[in-house]
């Protein structure tokens, strides 16, 4: 247990040293601020662009701000997360530093789990900061309106990110090349979304975590509907991690 924590701390330092943590934090902060701003300013920008032409645009509300935020996080940020974290194990196995770590009384499963824990820490801190900024900006720019189930909605997107990290970690242990690992992670991630869109599965699939956020905020989706997707999201993340641990144990380094 002790070596697990020591290694996790070392991993976190490494995340800063290799700029991975910084990249994730900065990208998330930028999206946290620009989403409400863009929602507020889009009508003004359109007016400037089409000077003289009358364009009818509904006045933006807090709904648009959160819609922008969740759209950006669900697409752009997830791509960045996959790109950043699918190199985690690959870089260590290809350079041979993993071997060094594993001889120091660190089991292979702890190696994978501590990688996951440090990635999850970076994601959680960056996401919390980004969501906090987004809420502050939105409350200031759109003082009226009260979003329903905002925190549940934010939590679902956080869990979606955790699942994405688990996907990247799995492909990162399977392949021994960064490009393959990243492409593999995109494929696996796409596959989960694809399977999620099969009609009979949709209600239970974890993709709802990254897709139903606006329904929760506008109140058109009841929180109870998210119960099963949250469970399957946790379950799939755990299974992906288990698969990563098992595969890494059998892998020749």
Partner 1 sequence: MDALRQYFPFLIPVAVLEVGLMVGALVHLLRRMKTRNLNVGAWAVIIVVFEIIGPVLYFLIGREED
Contact residues toward partner 1 (CB under 8 A) are 18-20, 22-23, 26-27, 29-30, 33-34, 37, 40-41, 44-45, 48, 80, 83-84, 87, 95, 137, 141, 178
Contact between 82 and 167 (Cβ < 8 Å): yes
In the complex with partner 1, the residue whose CB is nearer, 84 or 188, is 84
In the complex with partner 1, the residue whose CB is nearer, 82 or 216, is 82
In the complex with partner 1, the residue whose CB is nearer, 44 or 203, is 44
Least distance to partner 1 from the beta carbon of 172, Å? 13
Contact between 247 and 193 (Cβ < 8 Å): no
Contact between 67 and 38 (Cβ < 8 Å): no
Place of tokens 């949709």: 202
Q: Which two tokens stand for residue 146?
A: 């009260």
Q: How far apart are CA 92 and CA 101, in angstroms?
A: 9
DSSP class of 77 = I
Least distance to partner 1 from the beta carbon of 28, Å? 10
Least distance to partner 1 from the beta carbon of 53, Å? 16
Least distance to partner 1 from the beta carbon of 133, Å? 9
In the complex with partner 1, the residue whose CB is nearer, 84 or 159, is 84
In terms of Cα–Cα distance, which of 120, 102, 77 is closest to 238?
Answer: 120
In the complex with partner 1, the residue whose CB is nearer, 172 or 207, is 172
Q: Which two tokens stand for residue 18?
A: 């290799």
Least distance to partner 1 from the beta carbon of 46, Å? 12
Give the residue ranges of DSSP H helices in 50-149. 62-72, 78-85, 88-95, 97-103, 108-141
């Amino acid at each position: 247990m002790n070596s697990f924590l020591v290694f996790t701390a070392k991993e976190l330092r490494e995340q800063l040293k290799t700029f991975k943590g910084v990249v994730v934090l900065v990208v998330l902060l930028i999206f946290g601020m620009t989403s409400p701003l863009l929602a507020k300013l889009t009508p003004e920008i359109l007016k400037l662009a089409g000077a003289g032409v009358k364009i009818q645009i509904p006045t933006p509300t807090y709904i648009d701000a959160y819609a922008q935020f969740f759209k950006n996080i669900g697409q752009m940020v997830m791509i960045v997360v996959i790109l950043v974290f699918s190199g985690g194990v690959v870089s260590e196995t290809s350079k041979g530093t993993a071997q060094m770590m594993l001889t120091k009384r660190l089991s292979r499963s702890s190696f994978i789990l501590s990688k996951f824990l440090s990635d999850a820490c970076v994601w959680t801190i960056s996401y919390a900061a980004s969501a906090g900024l987004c809420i502050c900006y939105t409350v200031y720019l759109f003082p009226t309106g009260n979003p329903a189930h905002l925190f549940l909605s934010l939590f679902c997107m956080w869990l979606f990110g955790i699942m994405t990290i688990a996907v990247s970690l799995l492909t990162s242990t399977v392949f021994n090349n960064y490009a393959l690992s990243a492409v593999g992670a995109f494929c696996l991630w796409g596959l989960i979304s694809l399977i999620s869109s099969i009609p009979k599965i949709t209600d239970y699939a974890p993709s709802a975590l990254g897709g139903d956020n606006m329904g929760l905020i506008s109140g058109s989706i009841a929180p109870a509907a998210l119960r099963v997707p949250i469970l399957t999201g946790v379950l799939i993340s755990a299974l992906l991690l288990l698969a990563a641990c098992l595969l890494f144990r059998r892998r020749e380094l």
